[in-house]
Amino acid sequence: MGIIIDGKKISEEIKNNLRKKILSIKKDKMKPGLAVLIVGDDPASKIYVKAKKKSCEYIGINSFEFNLSKEISEEKILEIIDKLNTDEKVDGILVQLPLPKHINQETVINRIIPNKDVDCFTKVNIGNLFYGFDGLKPCTPNGCIQLLKRYNIEISGKFCVIVGRSNIVGKPLSIMLTKNDATVCLVHSKTLNLKEICKTADILISAVGKRNMITADMVKQGSVVIDVGINRDEDGYVTGDVDYKNVEKIAGYITPVPGGIGPMTIAMLMENTVYSYLNKK
């Protein structure tokens, strides 16, 4: 049986530390602020936004929620972002994705000034990450790295396979693991011999969005398995990409879903917001 990597517990420790930091700030000083823009009424987005708001309340971050109609124009969203960019009460701006089709996601995201881009999605911040500069880090990839570090799992020299090459998970995670001296292999839907490649991984990370994508025959005995995927089974329960019941018997370490990367992503968002606040000029 593999050791379960408890993302919920670690995320709570991180949030407690942030809360202590905020509590130590002088009473007359403005608290950090996070603005969240949500366009339309996608139920999953609403759940994520609610969880983010709850974490803000716990830590002592002011949260400003903008519930916008799905018919809103791109110009209007850009106008709101422009105002938030110069608002002193706001340290982080987050646009909940996905956006309706008539809105250009890239234009909207890149309108956020880099030091308030707490999701770390803008071209500038991704560029900084690429060059290895200090600064905001993408939340889900950073959540993966932090879990490995907190469980004292060696990254340096390890062979890491990431399944999924999206701009928000797979690609930035490949950069971060490389910075930590891992040898990284990024695989995707066009990869040949996917199963064989996964089986050679010391650290296997799945970010696909398909239930039971990673089966026990794709996992090396004693390896570390990180499940980023969020899916629902036929009864509506949240599951990851990994066939947890069978993979758990082979893996050395494994993250559960729920309770693995999900809460860590939120903790990293909180950390980024506090970082922006503390580094405010």
Which residues are annotated as catalytic? 52, 96, 119
Q: Which is nearer to ligand NDP, 2 or 262 (CB)?
A: 262
Q: Kindly state the smallest distance separating residue 28's Cβ from ligand NDP, in Å.
A: 36
Q: Kindly state the smallest distance separating residue 174's Cβ from ligand NDP, in Å.
A: 11
Q: Kindly state the smallest distance separating residue 41's Cβ from ligand NDP, in Å.
A: 18
Q: Kindly state the smallest distance separating residue 62's Cβ from ligand NDP, in Å.
A: 23
Region of residue 15 (phi > 0: left; psi between -120 and 50: alpha; otherwise: beta): alpha
Residue of 174, 180, 216 lying closest to 198 (CA atoms): 216
**Contact assessment for residue 232 and residue 261, using Cβ atoms and an 8 Å cutoff:** no
**Contact assessment for residue 109 and residue 93, using Cβ atoms and an 8 Å cutoff:** no
**Contact assessment for residue 74 and residue 16, using Cβ atoms and an 8 Å cutoff:** no
Q: Which two tokens stand for residue 251?
A: 């893996």
**Contact assessment for residue 3 and residue 260, using Cβ atoms and an 8 Å cutoff:** no
Cα distance between residue 166 and residue 186, in whole Å: 10
Q: Which is nearer to ligand NDP, 33 or 164 (CB)?
A: 164
Sign of the CA dihedral 117, 121, 124, 127? positive
Q: Which two tokens stand for residue 49?
A: 């936004």
Q: Say which DSSP state 216 is in.
A: G
Q: Kindly state the smallest distance separating residue 24's Cβ from ligand NDP, in Å.
A: 29
Say whether the peptide bond before residue 98 is cis (omega within 30 degrees of 0). Answer: yes
Say whether the peptide bond before residue 258 is cis (omega within 30 degrees of 0). Answer: yes
Looking up tokens 């559960």 gives 256
Q: Which two tokens stand for residue 36?
A: 């969240």
Q: Which is nearer to ligand NDP, 156 or 193 (CB)?
A: 193
**For binding to ligand NDP (CB under 6 A), which residues are involved?**
140, 163-166, 168-170, 188-190, 194, 207-210, 228-231, 261-262, 265
Q: Which is nearer to ligand NDP, 34 or 80 (CB)?
A: 34
Q: Kindly state the smallest distance separating residue 115's Cβ from ligand NDP, in Å.
A: 22
**Pairing outcome for strands 183-187 and 159-163:** parallel
Q: Which is nearer to ligand NDP, 265 or 272 (CB)?
A: 265
